[in-house]
Chains A and B, each alone.
Chain A
């Protein structure tokens, strides 16, 4: 069911390759729309009142005994507390094992000469450096990759598969605490996570009915 965006307190388009920071208050809905399809959205959540508490991939995986994030998944913090609940997902599967690309990991994964390519960690670091919340590289744990497909086989292999997302698909989260959201709209050009063509996303919040 499509919700109206009237009354949204945030409604922004994040261009390809750009970071975004915003605050979602407890009870609000937060939606990310994959506007053109197959766009990885690297995302971290922090307790807005105490940023040492943040989204934890391992707490979340452990509690739901499953590696993929979708409708019904409760995103847990490193203190084991619920931060947001995924209440709508028209994509079907999101990754939390693949982490964020960085200049350094690009040298390992692709070629030493790839160091200068734009990457998610550079976006995260620039956003944190200019946001004045005292957050640094130290505060970058394993993130979520919304709209990204990273299957694990029963034999324990990890694959980066073509995206399962498409234009207009979205994920919607219900904030269970006041949350600072940090996004890198992924600029990676070396693998299919963005279909080799990074594209914009839309982020929206609104109050609960």
Chain B
């Protein structure tokens, strides 16, 4: 794969950008217990966006790892998970908000802490969405990369501490031109204490088009149809 660019995102910071079809975006955790909240939108028509429910039910899963794809609400695939060193990413638990961050880590303000202030997931997403004319109505259910949350038989959720290690990565191969919004902030089930969100490395490479025997395409008949729907948009 041809390297296109690399960028370092400080822990606690947010980022957005356009990732083109055929680009593989590698997210790499800078430290243990990393969490990266993520949302994806169709660059041409952002009313089409990552859809938690359609992603989960098409693939009969409540977690994401290699071989799974991220569906939009239009039956298409925005990106495929082509590699993953940590085995589980959380699609269920959502974002932190300002009250939660203040309660868990302490209240901070720009007036005192300057750029070391703590930014909630919700605030981070709203800022990045705003740059594209999007807002609260577009802030749908997100993925939390690098976090593992398991449900017991009664549905009670437990976050697995120490799941991600420094250097863990996940590769997202984009199947459509996408707007990508990220926040390298704490997971909403993080117990709190010291505020030390992991940094995030982004590495964009030119990938190969998914072959007919591509593991994500071949994972299940649902994904084969999802790729057909997606490829028709570009035909």
Contacts and interface: CB of A to CB of B under 8 A. Distances in A.
Interface of A: 52, 56-59, 61-62, 65-68, 78-80, 93, 97-100, 102-109, 111-112, 121, 137-142, 150, 152-154, 156-160
Nearest to B157: A65
B53 to A, nearest CB: 2
B75 A105 contact: yes
Given A58-B94, A61-B92, A142-B53, A107 B225 contact: yes
B151 interface: yes
A62 B71 contact: no
B180 to A, nearest CB: 19
Given A80-B99, A107-B229, A61 B157 contact: yes
Contacts of A108: 54, 58, 71, 75, 222, 225-226, 229
A99 B97 contact: no
B154 interface: yes
A98 B94 contact: no
23 contacts: A59-B94, A61-B94, A62-B188, A66-B155, A67-B62, A67-B92, A67-B151, A68-B155, A78-B136, A98-B53, A99-B52, A100-B53, A105-B57, A105-B71, A105-B75, A106-B75, A108-B225, A109-B58, A142-B140, A154-B152, A156-B62, A156-B88, A157-B62
Nearest to B93: A62
Given A67-B92, A112-B228, A160 B57 contact: yes
